[in-house]
Amino acid sequence: MQDKICIVTGAGQGMGRAIAQEFAARGAGAVVVADINPETGNQTADLVRAAGAAASFTATDLTISASIRELIDGAAREYGGIDVLVNNAGVIDTAFAKNPSIQRLDEEVWDRVFAINLKGMWLATKFAAPYLKRSERGPAIVNAGSVSGMTGYAGAPAYVASKGGVIQLTKATAVELAPLVRCNCYCPGTIDTPMAREFIDAAPDSGAVLSYMTASHLIPRQGRPDEVARLVAFLASDDSSFMTGVSILIDGGSLAWRGTR
């Protein structure tokens, strides 16, 4: 990661914050923190600086094309280019609706989840691609998938469908940008993040939902954001230089069997 200029979306908390800090710890030159929340985004930027990298925060709304373009172009102007794009930002149906299901989910919620999780990712990739193709420091894109993109869950139909799309977008991006830019995807299981806690807390029986979400983990707990961050740093770094178009599970062994403990 030495001296690489990186953008991390959704970096105001959870996995995005851990990724930004991990990049700094591994010698990144600068990390642009993108998030819709200025308070948490600026906090992450301060943590990145404390870890040894330059940092800036850009308020970004992934439902607005112009906001995404300004993030990408602004980062390139400020730091002279872009070497790594991490499309980490994501939302789940329960952020906008109570007890969503295929039959009850409002069309507006479906559209908003897809706008952030998939369309926003495509637009960030589209706008960043010209800068990444000019990079001479091992340019890479890393996308946030999910086990939900590989298997189904009740109660979040838009999230599950959008994450399946992320996995396919990763492959298409890898094909189109090869050999200049690599693109890979990480697919977490249940990770202890604010978004996961909000999903769990929104359920009528939060304890039962947490047990359900971790019951298939062969490692019997939630994952930690720093564990995911180390995988993302590997995929963004030159250590993974012969990898592109892949989606890697980091799920405590959940999809190795889909049994329950």
Which residues form the catalytic set? Answer: 159
User: How far are the Cα atoms of 15, 31, 45, 249, 251 from residue 219, in angstroms, in the given order?
Assistant: 19, 32, 32, 13, 9
Round to whole Å and give the CA distance between 11 and 44: 7
Round to whole Å and give the CA distance between 129 and 133: 6
User: How far are the Cα atoms of 76, 117, 227 from residue 48, in angstroms, in the given order?
Assistant: 18, 24, 17
What backbone torsions phi and psi does residue 42 show, to the nearest 5 degrees? -65, -35
- Name residues whose C-beta falls within 8 Å of residue 214's C-beta, 6 or more positions apart in sequence: 190, 220, 221, 222, 252
Write out the E strands in 122-254: 140-144, 182-188, 247-250
CB 16 within 8 A of CB 41: no
